[in-house]
């Protein structure tokens, strides 16, 4: 995380699944056999390109760039709701429980045909929240997740 952008694979259960392994162009993800093995990210090979984010059927892979600027981080996540935000939009960013954490600025919205409907959105947020922010809040800018 100190060296640059890196993938975070939040896949913690042994389910038969391995598209992430083939998705990485740098061989930075291994699952092997049996395919229920948890994916292992090799940080030294990961360039933070984000190619693994859209192919994950569980939407469980994210990208974190801690020192995007001196004060902000960039967090990239898969997103399959409409309407998609636009580049430059200010969006309410949420944590893994959907709770509002901070305002964020949309830096990119990637939704090419190859993703088959899984858009990948990156938001710029204060560095302090880069390990929490994983989505755009569906319920607005409230703090109680309701």
Partner 1 sequence: MKTTQVAVIGAGPAGLAAAIEVARVGGKVTVIDENAKPGGQLFKQIHKFFGSKEHRAGVRGFHIGEQLLAETRRLDVEVLLDSPVYALFPDMTVGYVHDQKEVCLKAEKIIIAAGAAENALAFPGSTLPGVMGAGAAQTMINVHRVLPGKKVLMIGSGNVGLIVSYQLMQAGADVVALIEAAPQIGGYGVHAAKIRRAGVPIYVSHTVKKVLGEQQVESVEIVELDSQWQPVAGSEKILTVDTVCIAVGLTPLTELAWLMGCEFVFVSSLGGHVPKHNRNMETTVPGVYIAGDISGVEEASTAMEEGRLAGTACAEALGLLDREGARELKALIWDRMHALRTGPFGEGRRKAKDQLIGLSMGGQA
Q: Which is nearer to partner 1, 123 or 137 (CB)?
A: 137
Q: Which is nearer to partner 1, 57 or 112 (CB)?
A: 57
Nearest distance in Å: CB 69, partner 1: 25
Peptide bond into 11 cis (omega under 30): no
Q: Give the residue carrying structure tokens 């699952």.
A: 31
SS3 assignment, position 102: strand
Q: Which is nearer to partner 1, 36 or 71 (CB)?
A: 36
Nearest distance in Å: CB 47, partner 1: 21
Nearest distance in Å: CB 1, partner 1: 21
Q: Which is nearer to partner 1, 19 or 67 (CB)?
A: 19
Residues that bind partner 1 (CB under 8 A): 10-19, 22, 34-36, 55, 57-60, 80-82, 94-99, 116-118, 134-135, 137-139, 145-146
| Dist. CA 118–CA 51, nearest whole Å | 12
Nearest distance in Å: CB 2, partner 1: 26
DSSP 80-139: --SSPPPTT-EEEEE-TT--EEEEEEEEEEE--GGGTT-EEEEEEEEGGGTTT--EE-SS
98 DSSP β-pair partners: none
């Amino acid at each position: 995380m100190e060296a640059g952008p890196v993938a975070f694979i939040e896949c913690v259960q042994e389910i038969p699944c391995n598209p992430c392994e083939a998705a990485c162009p740098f061989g930075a993800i291994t699952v092997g056999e049996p395919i229920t093995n948890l994916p292992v990210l090799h940080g030294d090979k990961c360039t933070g390109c984000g190619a693994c984010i859209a192919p994950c059927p569980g939407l469980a892979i994210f990208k974190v760039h801690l020192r995007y600027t001196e004060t902000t981080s960039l967090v990239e996540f898969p997103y399959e709701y409409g309407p998609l935000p636009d580049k430059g939009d200010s969006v309410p960013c949420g944590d893994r429980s959907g709770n509002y954490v901070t305002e964020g600025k949309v830096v990119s919205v990637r939704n090419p045909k190859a993703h088959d409907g899984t858009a990948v959105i990156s938001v710029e947020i204060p560095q302090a929240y880069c390990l929490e922010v994983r989505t755009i809040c569906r319920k607005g800018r409230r703090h109680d997740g309701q």
